[in-house]
A and B are shown apart, each in its own frame.
Chain A
Amino acid sequence: MSDLTVKLPGLNLKNPIMPASGCFGFGKEYAQLYDLSQLGAIMIKATTVETRLGNPTPRVAETASGMLNAIGLQNPGLEKVTEQELPWLEKYDVPIIANVAGTTTEDYVEVAKKISQSPNVHALEINISCPNVKQGGITFGTDPDVARELTRAVKEVSAVPVYIKLSPNVTNIVSIAKAVEEGGADGITMINTLLGMRMDTKTGRPIIANITGGLSGPAIKPVALRMVYEVSQHTKLPIIGMGGVTNVDDVIDFLSAGASAVAVGTANFVNPFVCPEIIGQLPERLHELGFDSVEQLVGRSHRL
């Protein structure tokens, strides 16, 4: 039997598969469908200090092999997440990675400090890459100096290891990765969505009310793979890779490129059982490829 376990800062994963933040809410909806304890981890929806109502609708539009979204970090706010959502998830044997977002450094620090103290939060994912909010989000993730300083500030207050979620909407993603490494990050998650848009051909208007949205789904997998491959060559930080993962072979590809674990996003909307299905198929696929463990695959492409 292949060994699916993965050890990462703060995370002893029983397998490398986890739903990506923003695609899984706080788990309640998918808990109606399967036992969440099967998952390697859960990256919960972004939490901000205050309650956020997000952007106007329409918030989603389908594209070729992908989708655009501009939800706008809608969430019930720090207090409700720590008092209602996180305790509810404690009944599952699954580590939680809490996604932290904000408008100012102080916001990030406040959320990181409090949410990292929740008993089932094993790591933070700092969202410096959301393309759908006017302030905060991506503005922290496109300048290496700003990204480094934010990482430092969050690291100082966090009770658990800190992963920084990188944006693909930059010229040089390696420079951002190096900056957050200097800032003391424990790991990297990548990639967030690619900024895009879609028009209504009849009217000429953009379909998404926010004009632009974040592109996700199978269409972005080649970009995500390339970026994981590049970043893994230039930092020592472990990477949780994501971007267009829909099946077990996509997981193999991300591990080969240098990711230590893999998050599944948009595919949950297409097939709500995709995560447990991939977890079920992974041992046999590893065996077919001649590997005994997930860890043997990590960064395989760099050794060839």
Chain B
Amino acid sequence: MIKQERMQVINQQEIAHCIFELTVQGALANEMAEPGQFVHIRVADSFEPLLRRPISVASIDLEASQFTMIYRAEGRGTGLLAEKKPGDTIDVLGPLGHGFPVEEAEKKAYLIGGGIGVPPLYELAKQLNACGIETVHILGFESKQAVFYEDKFRKLGETHIATVDGSHGTQGFVTHILNELPTDFDTYYSCGPTPMLEAVQWAYPQKKGFLSYEQRMGCGIGACFACVCRTTKSETDYIKVCSDGPVFPAGVVIS
């Protein structure tokens, strides 16, 4: 169930260049059902900035009623969010949208992420591992300074890193790594920039895949029609990234 709550900040730290990890606590955390869902955060109680910010959830701790988000502080809104300290409270609306279906994986899954699309794959990897699914992580970043959670992913399975400038791991995009890897997996999950999702989809036309899309949002709950995409299901219909997604089976979204 969607809740709006003033959640308490438990921890906040910069874990890579301009990348922040923020943990909050409150009853809303216990509503989290699927990895890949997101929350909509009001970064200030003023009118400026006005709109909420959609932030993905990187890790859920139901026992402690906490969850952790990872976001890039690049604009005014996320910059203000980065100033929140333990003990502060923030207005959170969530959980929103439909996440990655864990039950669709059978034995082995590829988790393919790019930049700020990497965080939701961490909770997904944890849940897949808990179900006995082997996970292989292929993660792309801009440069060495932008890499985060590499060790955490390694603990959960085979992990490959690509950086655009080649300062860490393989030089290039995640697709450069995918070309070298075997295709002995049954399901893939991906989150990142739309061109990356497209490339992943093209790479594995025969595989079962689930892609998490990004789009500018207004309300986050499906009422404003800002974040729509065309769908392959019907020429006269549309889907909303916020409430129908953000995760869709491969082949559904026309991007």
Where the two chains meet, the residues of A that have a C-beta atom closer than 8 Å to any C-beta of B are 22-25, 28-30, 32-33, 45, 51, 53-54, 57-67, 69, 71, 74, 217-219, 246, 266, 268-273
Contact = CB atoms under 8 A, between A and B. Distances in A.
B227 A71 contact: no
B221 A53 contact: no
B51 A273 contact: no
Contact of A62 (B51, B222, B225, B227): B51
Contacts of A29: 219, 221-223, 243
A23 B224 contact: yes
A242 to B, nearest CB: 16
A69 B243 contact: no
Contact of A25 (B52, B216, B225): B225
Contacts of A22: 224
Contacts of A74: 225, 228, 238
Given A218-B50, A269-B51, A54 B225 contact: yes
A64 B48 contact: yes
Nearest to B93: A272
Interface in B135-188: none
A80 B219 CA distance: 23
Leading 10 A-B pairs by shortest Cβ distance: A25-B223, A65-B47, A60-B226, A269-B219, A29-B223, A29-B221, A29-B222, A58-B216, A218-B47, A59-B226
Interface string B46-60: 011111100000000
Contacts of A71: 224-226
15 contacts: A23-B219, A45-B225, A54-B238, A57-B229, A64-B48, A65-B48, A74-B225, A219-B47, A269-B52, A269-B219, A269-B220, A270-B52, A271-B42, A272-B93, A272-B219
A30 B224 CA distance: 11
Interface of chain B, main secondary structure: loop
Interface string B91-131: 00100000000000000000000000000000000000000
Contacts of A45: 225
Contact of A270 (B2, B51, B221, B243): B51
Given A63-B50, A269-B218, A269-B220, 14 more contacts: A22-B224, A45-B225, A53-B228, A54-B225, A54-B228, A57-B215, A59-B225, A60-B218, A69-B218, A71-B226, A74-B238, A269-B219, A270-B42, A272-B93
Contacts of A266: 50
B56 to A, nearest CB: 19
A218 to B, nearest CB: 5
Contacts of B51: 60, 62, 67, 269-270
Contacts of A66: 50
Given A58-B216, A61-B216, A270-B50, A32 B221 contact: yes
A60 B241 CA distance: 14
B236 interface: yes
B227 A23 contact: no
A229 B2 CA distance: 39
Nearest to B91: A271
A246 B224 contact: no
B230 interface: yes
Given A57-B216, A58-B216, A272-B93, A217 B224 contact: no
B4 interface: yes
Interface centre among B49, B52, B77, B219 (most CB of A within 10 A): B219
Contacts of B24: none
